[in-house]
Amino acid sequence: MTSAKTMFEKVWSAHEVAPQTAETPAVIFIDLHLTHEVTSPQAFTVLRERGLKVRRPDLTLATMDHSTPTRTEQVFGGAPISIESAAKQIQQLEINCAEFGVELLGLQDSRRGIVHIIGPELGITQPGKTIVCGDSHTSTHGAFGALAFGIGTTEVGHVLATQCLLQKKPKTCAIEVRGRLPAGVTPKDLILAIIGKVGVSGGTGYVFEYRGEALRALSMDQRMTICNMSIEAGARAGMIAPDETTYEYLKNTPRAPKGKAWDDALAYWKTLPSDDGATFDKVVEIDASSLEPMVTYGTNPGMVVSVTGRIPDHRGDAVFDAAMKYMGLSPGQPIAEAPVNVVFVGSCTNGRLVDLRAAAQVLSGRKIAKGVQMLVVPGSQEVKRLAEAEGLADVFKAAGAEWRESGCSMCLGMNGDTVNKGEYSVSTSNRNFEGRQGIGARTLLASPETAAASAVLGRVADPRQFLRA
């Protein structure tokens, strides 16, 4: 028996209010509850019906991102929000937060943005915390060494009322990444390759810990891209051990601990990484150094191929056949021949500053192809400001792209930013499900670099041709 523990086990056991028994799940305390307009209204209704309060408003933060408009005139100019039910939902969140005393970063707040982007920006996403949100991409926050996962609306109600959740302990899976990513190959390509390898349900029941040299070399923005898509392999959460990069990032954020509290926090954070010799229930290995830019060709994020490759031939497999029919693509076809109508750069996967820089680097001095619509949607208002200050917005506009206010936008098309039926979209988001970006929309997931290169050529393109130093 060894006493070496994984990072997950350390965070889990530090939050057990009551341990799991044969009859009951564990009661787990939640350090940070993020909430948004789409998955919270019915939870607040339950509180109201049962006469309950929000137990810890100080650990709860609300924002609006999913159904919010991205057109400046609708956000700031008083123009009506195009979708009436979305406007109502936004208003309902304002009412709920006011009534229950929850801090809300509302539509016009300068700190507003996609919920998984603003938590880290504000510095409330921290190592060792348990973080939940009624959103499956809560896994993003695991990049800081937090245990962060998505919950349903009933559970949103549980956390609002008790600051706790009933949870069964998941298993652990180490994703060992060997070697370094080659030039022009990004964290998005790495996570797509991992999902391709593990499969879209291979992580079910597990918490991933991404490990290895390649991850140590990444910035926090980049680590978030990886943890973000853990759920696309079915995993409950994805974690990366905190290190100097993590501390450096947090140090300058507005709500990170200061002074003595910082020193104490730092000392604790340094105890979190998995001990040498800690064992995981499962181990997956992947070699980063042999990867190429990746693009999805099908209707789940595991259907992925390198940008220089051809669509594989799995005819006879029902999932594959249905995907080919939906996508209008054929087995054996080079993916780089796939046409492009729309390019979307944004989302909680790739809507941070480094992502916009990467796309701008490809677009700088170039124009997007005729007939292609390109939408660049910063992940938060903070990202928007920084990108404008750096001149990235000018690069996008000069190239012919649209520059919007922050939000989820075309990642799920709830706010009316959608792709037309049958059109091809190269998107930096995380899901290529049927209809995700609009009824009949055909989504190819890729990195910001690949998305920008595809916008320039009007077909799926290898970004490395534009990135030579």
Binding mask 46-65 for another protein (x = CB under 8 A): x---x-x--x----------
Out of 57, 92, 176, 339, the residue judged to bind another protein by CB under 8 A: 92
425: contact with another protein by CB under 8 A:
no
228: contact with another protein by CB under 8 A:
no
Contact stretch for ligand SF4 (CB under 6 A) within 212-220, 305-313, 356-364, 405-413:
405-413
Out of 10, 35, 62, 66, the residue judged to bind another protein by CB under 8 A: 66
439 binds, among ligand SF4, another protein, none (CB under 5 to 8 A by kind): another protein
Closest Cα to residue 349, out of 460, 427, 253, 243? 427
Question: Residue 168 Cβ, how far from another protein at the closest point, in Å?
Answer: 6
Cβ distance to ligand SF4 smaller for residue 116 or 211: 116
Cβ distance to ligand SF4 smaller for residue 225 or 246: 225
Out of 137, 211, 352, 459, the residue judged to bind ligand SF4 by CB under 6 A: 137
Cβ-count burial of 77 within 10 angstroms (0-12 exposed, 13-18 middle, 19+ buried)? exposed
- # residues near ligand SF4 by CB under 6 A: 13
φ, ψ of residue 245 to 5 degrees: the values are: -60, -40
Contact stretch for ligand SF4 (CB under 6 A) within 9-17, 199-207, 337-345, 404-412:
404-412
Closest Cα to residue 347, out of 447, 467, 442, 254? 447
- # residues near another protein by CB under 8 A: 62
Residues 238-297, interacting with ligand SF4 (CB under 6 A) = none
201: contact with another protein by CB under 8 A:
yes
131 binds, among ligand SF4, another protein, none (CB under 5 to 8 A by kind): none
Cβ distance to ligand SF4 smaller for residue 66 or 112: 66
Residues 342-381, interacting with ligand SF4 (CB under 6 A) = 347-348
64: contact with ligand SF4 by CB under 6 A:
no
200: contact with another protein by CB under 8 A:
yes
236: contact with another protein by CB under 8 A:
yes
Interacting residues toward another protein by CB under 8 A: 17-18, 22-25, 27, 29, 38-39, 41-42, 45-46, 50, 52, 55, 66-67, 83, 85-86, 88-89, 92, 134-136, 150-155, 157-158, 161-164, 166, 168, 200-201, 204-205, 231, 234, 236, 300, 318-319, 322, 412-414, 431, 433-436, 439
Interacting residues toward ligand SF4 by CB under 6 A: 65-66, 114, 116, 135, 137, 347-348, 408, 411-412, 429-430
